[in-house]
């Protein structure tokens, strides 16, 4: 199982590879694949978040169509709520996506959030790294957003926050902690003209109060009506501008390196707790290095004899 084989095998091969990552994350072949994929990153990763009912899936459909019309290959990860009975994804988002099953350049994977905070599934990072090496755009849709659910910023190059009319005033946005998350904000259901305009003003007020801003980048607040495609081209262009901004200097590389270190620390904490973090000492990565091999080495050092190594979650 390698990148060349997956590329040649199309969507079926990618689906099998992702299933293997989920079922056998400790397999040396999985580690080798993820190391190769990390080194071959080519896609821009967009994380889409926002409260349930805001219209993320409809917007996802419109963005996929826009990107495909320009010839770009798109991989999607839809993080769905979990079934209480099976623990699997309920597939709510995927059933609302109107993609062509014969189009080999669009791939959608549903993943169950389970009990994970941040709206991300445990294996989202591994799936993203693999898909990032195969597509031009990777779009990740999370379950939702809240005061503790901001992990999408630790996986995406561009964070797109969706808000709908009637979502609350600037103070409520600040309390929710969302004003420091996004790189772009989109107000959905723009056909509700007066209410949508008020929502846009509320978001702009919240952003003006946020202290943690990126020098050189002004967060745009755009209005879209996804069913009619109004504003979708402008949104796609804004995402491209943010991608170009990240590619000035070392912005993208620095962001991805910081994300990899955060993921590595979280992975150690999830398996070994605070004591494991203490025993691990400094968990530094060489700049641009893959976290997967480092995780495997740390897991081997921290695991008692005759126990399974740490999974890539």
- The pLDDT score that the predictor gives to residue 71 is 96
Pick the CATH number of 41-248 from 2.170.190.11, 3.30.230.10, 3.40.50.300, 3.40.50.1000: 3.40.50.300
For the segment 185-204, the average pLDDT, to the nearest whole number, is 88
Q: What is the pLDDT of residues 56-98, one digit of tens each?
A: 889 999 999 999 999 999 999 988 654 444 444 444 444 556 6
- Distance of alpha carbon 98 from alpha carbon 78, whole angstroms: 13
- The pLDDT score that the predictor gives to residue 308 is 53
Residue 110 has pLDDT above 80, yes or no: yes
Chain centroid, CA 46 distance in Å: 6
More confident residue, 173 or 31: 31
pLDDT level of residue 202 (50, 70, 90 thresholds): confident
User: Domain extents for the chain?
Assistant: 1-40, 41-248, 254-302
For the segment 231-246, the average pLDDT, to the nearest whole number, is 97
DSSP-based three-state secondary structure for 111: strand
For the segment 248-261, the average pLDDT, to the nearest whole number, is 91
For the segment 147-167, the average pLDDT, to the nearest whole number, is 80
Spell out a b/e string for 175-196, using b for 16 or more CB atoms within 10 Å of the CB, else e.
ebebbebbbbbbbbbbebeebb
What residues form DSSP beta bridges with 185? 161, 221
Q: Minimal CA–CA distance to 178: which of 187, 166, 170?
A: 170
């Amino acid at each position: 199982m390698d990148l060349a084989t997956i590329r040649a095998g199309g969507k079926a091969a990618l689906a099998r590879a992702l299933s293997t990552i989920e079922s056998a994350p400790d397999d040396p072949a999985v580690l080798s694949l993820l190391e190769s994929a990390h080194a071959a990153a080519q896609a821009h990763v967009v994380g889409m978040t926002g409260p349930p009912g805001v219209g993320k899936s409809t917007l996802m459909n419109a963005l996929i169509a826009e990107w495909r019309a320009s010839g770009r290959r798109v991989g999607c990860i839809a993080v769905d709520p979990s079934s209480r009975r099976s623990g699997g994804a309920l597939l709510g988002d995927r059933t609302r996506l109107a993609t062509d099953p014969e189009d080999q350049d669009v791939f959608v994977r549903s993943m169950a959030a389970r009990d994970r905070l941040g709206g991300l599934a445990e294996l989202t990072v591994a799936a993203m790294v693999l898909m990032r090496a195969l597509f031009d755009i990777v779009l990740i849709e999370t379950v939702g957003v809240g005061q503790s659910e901001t992990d999408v910023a630790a996986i995406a190059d561009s964070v797109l926050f969706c808000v709908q009319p009637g979502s609350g005033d600037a103070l409520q946005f600040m309390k929710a902690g969302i004003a420091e998350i996004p790189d772009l904000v989109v107000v959905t259901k723009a056909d509700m003209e007066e209410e949508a305009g008020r929502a846009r003003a509320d978001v702009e007020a919240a952003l003006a109060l946020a202290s943690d801003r990126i020098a050189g980048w002004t967060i745009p607040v755009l209005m879209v009506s996804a069913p009619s495609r109004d504003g979708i081209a402008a949104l796609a262009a804004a995402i491209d501008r943010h991608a170009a901004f990240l590619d000035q200097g070392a912005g993208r590389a620095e962001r991805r390196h910081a994300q990899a270190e955060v993921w590595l620390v979280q992975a150690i904490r999830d398996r070994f707790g605070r004591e494991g973090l203490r025993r691990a000492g400094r968990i530094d990565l060489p700049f641009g290095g893959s976290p997967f091999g480092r995780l495997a080495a740390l897991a081997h050092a921290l695991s008692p004899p005759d126990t399974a190594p740490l999974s890539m979650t």
